[in-house]
Structure 1
Amino acid sequence: MSHIRKNALALTAVAALLAACSNSRFVGNEEYGTDNQREMILRQTGGDPGASGLVVFGVDRSRQNQAAGGGGAGMTVNAFLWRATLDTLSFMPLASADPFGGVIITDWYTPPAAEGERFKATAYVTTRQLRSDGVRVQVFRQVNQRGAWVDAPTSAATNSELEDRVLARARELRSQSAGLR
């Protein structure tokens, strides 16, 4: 058998093996809504930062990982900061969230009182410890000028205020979790 045939056969076998191992499923329409997406993320990350985290291969490693900073199994960010960030930004529609990378991106949000402007936020949870420098929030603003959305500056104080709210909520969640034990 030639080397080309052997390589092609090996490639086909690997592709078939990977296809058999895939965990594909159809996504229902109800999973696309913002609230449902947020709830799915909270379920994946344990929902309650003081409760069990992610279950990996049927093994709940939450007690081991809580001692290492409150994260669930496999989480690389602090669960209290993660949940607090989701809670703090919950008034904005959620575009995406990566609990392993610690990135939360919201979709554009138009406050009811300001119809000519909209806001979007990106939050980064950067540590496994509950620290004041463990979260960074960046808010983006656009204003409507003659039917077109144009980028506009935001105050640095806005970013700081959101970060302070996240930290306060994270401390509250940690206190609640400590009271349950």
Structure 2
Amino acid sequence: MRATSAFKFLAAALVAFSLASCGGVGSLGNVGFGGAKDGVDTEDDEIEPIIEGSGGMSQVGQTSIFDLFKRKDTGTTVKVNRYLWNASLDVLNFLPIQSVDPFTGVIVTGYGRPPGGGRAYRATVYIKDPALDARSLNVAIATRGGPVAAGTQRAVEDAILARARQLRIQDKKY
């Protein structure tokens, strides 16, 4: 009988301890573990904002499961020039596309042969600015043997810029 009552007492103490530790710092008025017991602010209070909850109790950094489903506006928007984007796809249409990310402005292609050409090329295009400018466009072209000559790379960049200007002029007509 004595072992049973000791077991019940131990189980009750364990449940009480578990429930007390779930409360956190703000729910017991800063008397839980890790809180400021003597009324002196700790570094944790300076880092996390204190929000007044119902009943005048402060809640330190409290969140709920429903915060996962709220859409957060990070304030960052990535802008890619659509004329450069479409022109890059038009000029390099003979290359198979491996990955495309319109949000960061990266187009990665696999190896392909241009019409009438014998050598296989691959390209990576990075559009880093919303302006229709040569500074906005970075093109890296390589063969199976390594990078191509600077003149070839510049010719492809010029072709993409020329096609982008054509697309922009066509867009102004409508």
Distance in 2 (CA, whole Å) between partners of 1:106 and 1:178 is 30
Q: How many residues align?
A: 112
**Paired position in structure 2 for 1:83:** 86
Distance of aligned partners of 1:111 and 1:129 in 2 relative to their CA distance in 1, 3 Å threshold: closer
Pairwise CA distance, 1:4: 6.2
Whether 1:161 aligns to 2:155 is yes
Report the RMSD for the aligned CA atoms in angstroms.
Answer: 2.7
How far did residue 99 of structure 1 move? 1.0
Paired residue secondary structure (1:133): helix
| TM-score for the superposition, normalised by structure 2 | 0.55
**In the alignment, does 2:172 pair up with 1:172?**
no
Partner of 1:129: 131
Deviates more, 1:123-132 or 1:165-174: 123-132
| Aligned position for 1:37 | none
Quick one: percent identity of the two aligned structures?
35
Instruction: State the distance in 2 between where 1:91 and 1:5 align.
Output: 63
Aligned counterparts of 1:77 and 1:108: Cα–Cα separation in 2: 25
- Flag the structure with larger Rg: 2
Instruction: Say if 2:81 and 2:130, in contact at 8 Å, map to a contact too.
Output: yes
- Structure 2 equivalent of residue 106 of structure 1: 109
Which of the pair has the greater relative contact order for Cα pairs under 8 Å at 6+ separation? 1
In structure 2, stretches of 5+ residues that fail to align are 1-18, 25-61, 71-76
CA contact (8 A) 2:141 2:147 kept: no
* TM-score, normalisation: structure 1: 0.53
Q: Map of 1:1-181 to 2, 5 A cutoff?
A: 1=19, 3=21, 14=65, 75-111=78-114, 113-114=117-118, 117-142=119-144, 151-180=145-174
**Secondary structure in structure 2 of the residue aligned to 1:91:** coil
5+ residue gaps in structure 1? Answer: 22-73, 143-150
Letter in 1 for 2:169: S
